[in-house]
Amino acid sequence: MYKTLKIGDKAVNRLGFGAMRITGQGIWGEPKDHDAAIAVLKRAVELGANFIDTADAYGPEVSENLIREALHPYDGLVIATKGGLTRSGPGRWHPDGSPEHIREACEASLKRLGVEQIELYQFHRPDPAVPFADSVKAFFELQGQGKVKHVGLSNVSTDQLERAMELGTVVSVQNNYSVLNREHEAVLELCAANGIAFIPYFPIGGNTDGLSEQMLESIAEKHGATARQVGLAWLLQHSPVMLPIPGTGSLDHLEENMQAANVRLDAEDIAQLDRLAD
């Protein structure tokens, strides 16, 4: 259905699903409607999303548990999770990049997901209290033990990515990025140069009103699409290593997001949207 890219040795469709918003408000606790969350996960796969992104911190634990309930044994799917953040309440996130925590977090995610090996394990966020190399080495040690197949990073700079690449093979980077937020363009370029998948989180601006620029609305009208779809279509056309993971707890928004693969922006559209970065 969609063009693919590789996560390590496995090809995945270039529109994945981010499973952060299937939890409760503030990414905390159980979803308001458990059955609806399960339905969204199953429908995402039906629509072609074979890359599902989550983290132990989403809930915490809730997202991983829901994914297992809805999708295990994950036939044909890549389930990517993360470690390195802890929670103390709705909207409250705390980095913990200590090797001890990363090892414990990995073990817990393996059990929750019901797998012997995590397909893609990502360092959620560098911890200023822990040397970056110490944290990253813990991920590669888990890979060496067979508990992790591939290692990815999240919320990193170009310098941090280059340092991690000296320690082992990095197959993905997940940073905040969208048509309206190109702060990490240099990281994307480094990923493209090295064949590393770039996974933009908040690919449609971080909320349902994120992509509300008048230019986006105008281009959307031209294509009979929505601003959300235009934002996702731009990501797909901007770089061949781009793997957007729009997340939602709504079936309607899910259907809308996945249709973005059918929107083809022309050169004039791209030029207009690129001016947003000037």
Q: What's 80's domain CATH number?
A: 3.20.20.100
Residue that has been written with the tokens 């090797």 in this structure: 99
User: How many CB atoms lie under 10 A from the CB of residue 150?
Assistant: 23
pLDDT of residue 39: 98
In terms of DSSP bridges, do strands 4-7 and 118-123 run parallel, antiparallel, or are they unpaired?
unpaired
Reduced 3-state DSSP string for the chain: CCCEEEECCEEEECCCEECCCCCCCCCECCCCCHHHHHHHHHHHHHCCCCEEECCCCCECCHHHHHHHHHHCCCCCCEEEEEECEEEEECCEEEECCCHHHHHHHHHHHHHHHCCCCEEEEEECCCCCCCCHHHHHHHHHHHHHCCCEEEEEEECCCHHHHHHHHHHCCEEEEEEECECCECCCHHHHHHHHHCCCEEEEECCCCCCCCCCCCHHHHHHHHHHCCCHHHHHHHHHHHHCCCECCCCCCCCHHHHHHHHHHHHCCCCHHHHHHHHHHHC
- The answer to the question of residue 107 being in a domain is yes
Which letter, b or e, does each residue of 154-190 get, where b requires 16 or more Cβ atoms within 10 Å of its Cβ? bbbeeebbeebeeeeebbbbbbebbbbbeebeebbeb
- The answer to the question of residue 217 being in a domain is no
Tens digit of each residue's pLDDT (9 = 90 or more) over 84-131: 999 999 999 999 999 999 999 999 999 999 999 999 999 999 999 999
Q: Is 58 labeled as catalytic in the residue annotation?
A: yes
**Percentage of the chain exceeding pLDDT 90:** 88
User: pTM above the 0.85 mark?
Assistant: yes
Distance of CA 97 to the CA centre of its chain: 19
In terms of DSSP bridges, do strands 118-123 and 148-154 run parallel, antiparallel, or are they unpaired?
parallel
What is the extent of the structural domain holding 204?
A: 10-209+234-249
Number of compact structural domains in the chain: 1
Residue 213 pLDDT class (50, 70, 90 cuts)? low
**Percentage of the chain exceeding pLDDT 70:** 96
- The answer to the question of residue 277 being in a domain is no
Catalytic annotation, pick one of 2, 58, 177, 201: 58
pLDDT of residue 1: 38
- The answer to the question of residue 273 being in a domain is no
- The answer to the question of residue 255 being in a domain is no
Residue 216 pLDDT class (50, 70, 90 cuts)? confident
Residue 267, C-beta contacts closer than 8 angstroms, at least 6 positions apart: none
- The answer to the question of residue 275 being in a domain is no
- The answer to the question of residue 133 being in a domain is yes
Tens digit of each residue's pLDDT (9 = 90 or more) over 42-79: 999 999 999 999 999 999 999 999 999 999 999 999 99
- Rama region for 193: left / alpha / beta (φ>0; ψ in -120 to 50; rest): alpha
